[in-house]
Amino acid sequence: MCIMFFSRKLLKIFWIFIYLSKKHLIFFSLSVFGSWAGQLGDGRAHLVGVYTNRRGERWELQLKGSGKTPYSRNGDGRAVLRSSVREFLCSEAMHYLGVPTSRAASLVVSDDDVWRDQFYDGNIKKERGAVVLRLAKSWFRIGSLEILAHSGELDLLRSLVLMQNKGPGQPDCGGSVSVSPLAAGQPSTLLKQSQLEESSVICSNSPIRRKLLDFIIQEHFPSVVPSYSDRYLDFFSTVVSETANLIALWMSVGFAHGVCNTDNFSLLSITIDYGPFGFMDSYDPNFVPNTSDDEGRYKIGNQANAGLFNLNKLLQALKPLLDPRQKQLASQILEEYGQTYYGRFTELFKRKLGLLGDSEDDNYLIAFLLKLMEDTKADFTMTFRQLSEITADQLKELHIPEEFWALQDLGRHGLFSEWVAMYLSRLDGIKGDSDIKRRRRMTTVNPRYVLRNWMAESAVQKANLNDFSEVQLLQQVLQRPFQRQQAAEKAGYAMRPPAWARGLKVSCSS
């Protein structure tokens, strides 16, 4: 039995398969939860070709869950239905939210048995298999360069897939990188300074790394001049800036990736590898969607810090290609990451509040609101959406209609009226503005629907019973997240999450 779903605009890409015969793999390594994990690679993903669309954009096509690869180790190379449905829906949802992301062209479901220990508790169960056709302009990750730094590039000229890691005894250059304080969505505390280890192998001759970087720059970084002597600096600066932008965008929609390892961070700064992700329901800077993350290393409020850690790993991989002057400049670029992130974070949340122009109190206004939301456990998505829909007069009178349930939760805080007064005063200071204009621009940036875990779980449970109606409904709804939709309202997608949603768990098992 085979059931197929397609993203409408990407439909024709699926048929490219009949012309493809040779499969390619990508190898990489990573720092997983902060520790070096050695060489890994695509354990169940095959790169099957490149598609060029009418705009001349090149997209790399990859099958996930398509069987064993040389990097499967003890795995079966398969993917289960639940994780495949989540990736298929979320990658498209993020695209329509305006967040850079890989795309999903198709989801193919079968009745083949796949055995998984979902929560790593010894309870192995039979699940249905599935394959996702996913696309990205490149699947290169920070880990793709990190492995070259650790391996010393031995024998890579003869074979890019048979590489020996140096293992124990690698030189340690020591040192640390400190950053300016930056906000990661938690208003009460600033992100702690990170002391990051530098453990790359510094090789005087790095031919493969240089060739790989030159290829990546030529193919994917048009703003960087390939022949420019400082091209690696420009490349690094772009990745730092765009990574800060990506994580700020995640924060603006309440998205927690769940596994921010170096192999899950794209060099093109797009969202990839949708696993134990989650969109926040109640606002909580300590929100951890991944049950495997016991220490909360990748909690939503620490994603910016995780990005800094990964960028430092990228810098260590680049250092053998830089002269002393360039190394110093690269370190300065990394030190500016915090300021870049915080600036973008502030800009996005000002847009969410409909603020135009600049005021010295804007940062405080944002932080004040987030603290109220944290204290009252107000819903993240619907608080901002309902602020987009309520009138200024209703806010001024503190008259919150019943339909604005998230604002009612927020209104129970003793300082809510103080925040409202500050907010309305700030809005009144915008020349030539009106309440209608304010609400119109806010509804274009504050979604009414995101792929909450309970929505995905409901769709998965039905799909396991051969009912794919909710998968199809979510696929349609999430293409227009900023528009009120009758079918979505009927399904309760803008209502308070059901009580059973609080007990949902998501793991790395897929």
d(CA 250, CA 243): 11
Locate 68 and state its tokens: 């064993």
Q: Is 71 within 8 Å of 25 (Cβ atoms)?
A: yes
Nearest-angstrom CA–CA distance, 114 and 407:
44
Closest CA to 352 of 379, 378, 381: 381
- Are 425 and 417 in contact by the 8 Å Cβ rule? The answer is no
Q: Which residues pair with 132 in a beta bridge?
A: 64, 107
Both structure tokens of 218 = 């030529």
Assess contact for 62 and 135: CB atoms under 8 A.
yes
Residue with tokens 């095959």: 46
222 Cβ contact partners less than 8 Å away, ≥ 6 residues apart = none
Q: What is the three-class DSSP state of 109? A: strand
Coil vs helix vs strand at 48: strand
**Catalytic center residues:** 263
Q: What's the DSSP call for residue 509?
A: -
d(CA 361, CA 366): 9
- For the chain, the distance separating the N- and C-terminal CA atoms, rounded to the nearest angstrom, is 21
* 353 Cβ contact partners less than 8 Å away, ≥ 6 residues apart: 365, 366, 369, 384, 387, 423, 442
CB 323 within 8 A of CB 231: no
How many Cα atoms occupy the beta-carbon half-sphere of 106 within 13 Å? 19
DSSP annotation of 112 reads E
Alpha helices for 105-229 (secondary structure H) = 142-151, 207-220
**Alpha helices for 64-206 (secondary structure H):** 81-97, 142-151
Contact 42, 26 (CB under 8 A): yes
Alpha helix stretches (DSSP H) within 292-415: 303-318, 324-335, 337-352, 362-376, 380-389, 392-396, 405-411
Other beta carbons within 10 angstroms of residue 191's beta carbon come to 22
- d(CA 284, CA 210) in angstroms, rounded, equals 42
Cβ burial of 279 (10 Å; 0-12, 13-18, 19+) is buried
